[in-house]
Amino acid sequence: MRAFVEIVDQGSLTAAGDALDRSLPTMVRTLAQLERELGAVLLRRTTRRMSLTEEGRVYLERCRRILADVAEAEALVGDVRGEPQGPLRVTAPVLFGQRHVAPAVADFLAANPAVQVDLLLLDRVVDLVEEGIDAAVRIAHLADSTMIAVPLGGMRRVLCASPDLLATYGTPDDPEALSALPCVRFFGLSPSSTWRFQRDGQDVAVAVEGSFTTNHVAAAVSACSAGLGFGQFLAYQIAPEVEQGRLEVVLPQHEVPPIPVSLVYAHARLLSPRLRAFVDWMKDRLAF
């Protein structure tokens, strides 16, 4: 089961073999024996790609659950010995993960040397159970689910501009003024060209335009810093530029309520000692 899950996660038998310290022929024989014993093809393989069959998808989901239970049982032994130990898979948004989660994980590992963390930085919502993830940092309003969410705080959605742009156009005193000003549109935050604000407790939607549009946050921040237009971002995405004076926050009184930041994990039945220690650590280190 571990070999099969590793093949799927790594994307190839060669990479899975490297991860498990097994040769490629051994991985081929292991998968073939598994499929022969099950009487089903789990993976369709060509020279260019590999994909799960329907039987493989169902089997993968059950394998992840079973292996999680095995890991929990083994971790309980470590808990009795008083030391969290074993592997954890954690995911977080790319930029937030680089700036905040990775340093906190490094400190956690220094304090818990028997734990190993696989940190996946992804700008997409990950299915924790299906992809074998122990915990995820989410910056979003969470939908109702069977997942458990630990609140870490809130993240502001801010409007910003470079000092040169403000010197040219002036500082707007109302969100609707943006409709006549150049704006850098970052579709990773707002999938449309409409930005949201609040005025006197009421939602305000403003249609914006500009010469530069991108789906990449670093490109959008760079364009704003260069004076191409006003931009709307999550506060952490522009924190270094604001601190260095390359960007200024505008219209803070019209910001929408902060977006929740949460640490999400599966049902408490699978809360191993190492995951419990990780959650407690992150609650302190990532509180906003």
92 and 38 belong to one structural domain: no
250 and 263 belong to one structural domain: no
137 and 205 belong to one structural domain: no
User: What pTM was computed for the model?
Assistant: 0.70
User: For residue 211, what is the domain's CATH number?
Assistant: 3.40.190.290
Question: Does residue 68 carry a pLDDT above 90?
Answer: no
Question: Does residue 172 carry a pLDDT above 80?
Answer: yes
- Give 100's pLDDT tier (boundaries 50, 70, 90): very high
- Give 147's pLDDT tier (boundaries 50, 70, 90): confident
Identify the domain boundary among 54, 82, 110.
Answer: 82
Q: What residues contact residue 269 under an 8 Å CB cut-off, 6+ apart?
A: none
264 and 224 belong to one structural domain: no
148 and 268 belong to one structural domain: yes
Beta bridge partners of 205: 196
Question: Does residue 30 carry a pLDDT above 80?
Answer: yes
- Give 82's pLDDT tier (boundaries 50, 70, 90): low
93 and 4 belong to one structural domain: no
Q: Give whichever of 10-24, 138-152, 178-192, 226-240 has the largest mean pLDDT.
A: 226-240
76 and 88 belong to one structural domain: no
Would you state the pLDDT for residue 73?
Answer: 72
220 and 172 belong to one structural domain: yes
User: What's the chain look like in SS3?
Assistant: CHHHHHHHHHCCHHHHHHHHCCCHHHHHHHHHHHHHHHCCCCEEECCCCEEECHHHHHHHHHHHHHHHHHHHHHHHHHHHCCCCCEEEEEEECHHHHHHHHHHHHHHHHHHCCCEEEEEEECCCCCCCCCCCCCEEEEECCCCCCCCEEEEEEEECEEEEECHHHHHHHCCCCCHHHHHHCEEEEECCCCCCCEEEEEECCEEEEEECEEEEEECCHHHHHHHHHCCCCEEEEEHHHHHHHHHCCCCEEECHHHCCCCEEEEEEECCHHHCCHHHHHHHHHHHHHCCC
For 192, the domain range is 157-257
Residue predicted with more confidence, 46 or 213: 213
Quote the Cα angle for 32-37-40, to 5°.
Answer: 75
- Give 71's pLDDT tier (boundaries 50, 70, 90): confident
170 and 220 belong to one structural domain: yes
147 and 174 belong to one structural domain: no
Structural domain total, the chain: 3
Average pLDDT along the chain: 90
Would you state the pLDDT for residue 270?
Answer: 53
45 and 174 belong to one structural domain: no
274 and 288 belong to one structural domain: yes
